[in-house]
C-alpha cells in the first residue's frame, strides 16, 4: 500500500512565511515595514501569548489585503507564485515531495496559509491542498478567516475529512512548528525541521 504523506508549507517547504512575503511583495519593503509598525501592538501581544494566533492573522490580513477584490487578489497571488515563491522553496523538501509522488504515495500539503496562494502552487506540483479559507463579502476579501484557521488540531480534523490513515501503509508528516505537532503525534513517522 502507498503511504499517506503530509507536508506543512510555511517553513517546511518554504524558507519563509508566505503570508508575510506576499504582503511585502504587494506593498514593497517600506510599506510592509510601516504596516508592521501599525500592527506591532497585536503582534507583541501574540508573542506574549495574550492574543490568539487566528486573531493576529486576521488583523494582518485585514490590514494588508482587506477590501481587495477576489479577482485582483487572485492575480496578485498568481504573480507572487510565478515571481517570488519558487525562489523561496527548500530544494531538499521539493526533492522529497517528488520522491514520495514517484513512489506512488498520496501527498497532501496541509497549511494554515490561505488556499488563494497555496492551492495554485499545489496544482502546479500535482499534490492535494488543505488550507485556510479567506472570507469574501460582496466580491471582496475581508481579511477574516472563513471557518477555522487550519492550525494545530484543525489540521488533524481537516486531514481526517479527506483521508483515512488506516487505509495506507503509514502516515508520514513533515513539519516545522507547534502548529504541526498535533499531526506529528498521530503520525507513524514525524520529521521535524528535516530540511535545510
Q: How many Å apart are CA 196 and CA 183, to the nearest integer?
A: 21
Q: How many Å apart are CA 101 and CA 106, to the nearest integer?
A: 7
Q: What is the pLDDT of residue 100?
A: 98
Please, which pLDDT band fits residue 142 given cuts at 50, 70 and 90? very high
- 24 with 32: CB under 8 angstroms? yes
Which grid coordinates are listed for 124?
502546479
Q: How many Å apart are CA 8 and CA 173, to the nearest integer?
A: 8
End-to-end CA, the chain = 29
pLDDT for residue 196 is more than 90: no
Structural domain spans, the chain:
4-192
Q: 10: Cβ–Cβ under 8 A, 6 or more apart, which residues?
A: 16, 17, 18, 19, 111, 112, 113, 176
* Range of weakest confidence among 52-56, 107-111, 160-164, 180-184: 52-56
How confident is the model over 60-88, as pLDDT tens digits? 999 999 999 999 999 999 999 999 999 99
Q: What is the pLDDT of residue 99?
A: 97
* Range of weakest confidence among 103-107, 131-135, 192-196: 192-196
Sheet (strand 189-192) strand order = 140-146, 128-137, 106-114, 4-7, 171-175, 189-192
- 109 with 9: CB under 8 angstroms? yes
Question: Per CATH, which fold does 4-192 belong to?
Answer: Rossmann fold (3.40.50)
CB-count burial class (<10 Å; 0-12, 13-18, 19+) for 149 = buried
Amino acid at each position: 500500500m502507498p503511504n499517506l504523506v503530509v507536508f506543512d508549507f510555511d517553513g517546511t517547504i518554504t524558507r519563509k512565511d508566505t503570508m508575510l512575503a506576499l504582503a511585502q511583495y504587494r506593498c514593497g519593503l517600506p510599506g510592509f515595514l510601516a504596516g508592521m509598525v501599525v500592527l506591532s501592538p497585536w503582534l507583541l501581544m501574540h508573542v506574549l501569548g495574550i492574543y490568539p494566533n487566528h486573531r493576529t492573522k486576521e488583523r494582518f490580513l485585514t490590514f494588508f489585503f482587506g477590501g481587495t477584490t477576489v479577482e485582483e487578489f487572485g492575480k496578485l497571488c498568481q504573480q507572487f507564485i510565478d515571481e517570488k515563491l519558487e525562489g523561496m522553496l527548500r530544494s531538499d523538501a521539493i526533492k522529497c515531495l517528488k520522491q514520495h509522488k514517484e513512489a506512488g504515495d498520496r501527498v497532501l500539503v496541509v497549511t494554515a496559509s490561505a488556499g488563494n496562494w497555496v492551492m495554485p502552487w499545489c496544482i502546479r506540483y500535482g499534490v492535494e491542498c488543505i488550507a485556510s479559507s479567506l472570507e469574501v463579502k460582496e466580491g471582496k476579501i475581508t481579511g477574516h478567516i472563513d471557518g477555522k484557521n487550519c492550525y494545530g488540531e484543525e489540521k488533524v480534523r481537516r486531514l481526517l475529512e479527506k483521508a483515512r490513515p488506516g487505509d495506507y501503509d503509514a502516515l508520514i508528516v513533515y513539519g516545522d512548528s507547534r502548529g504541526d505537532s498535533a499531526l506529528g503525534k498521530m503520525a507513524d513517522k514525524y520529521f521535524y525541521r528535516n530540511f535545510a
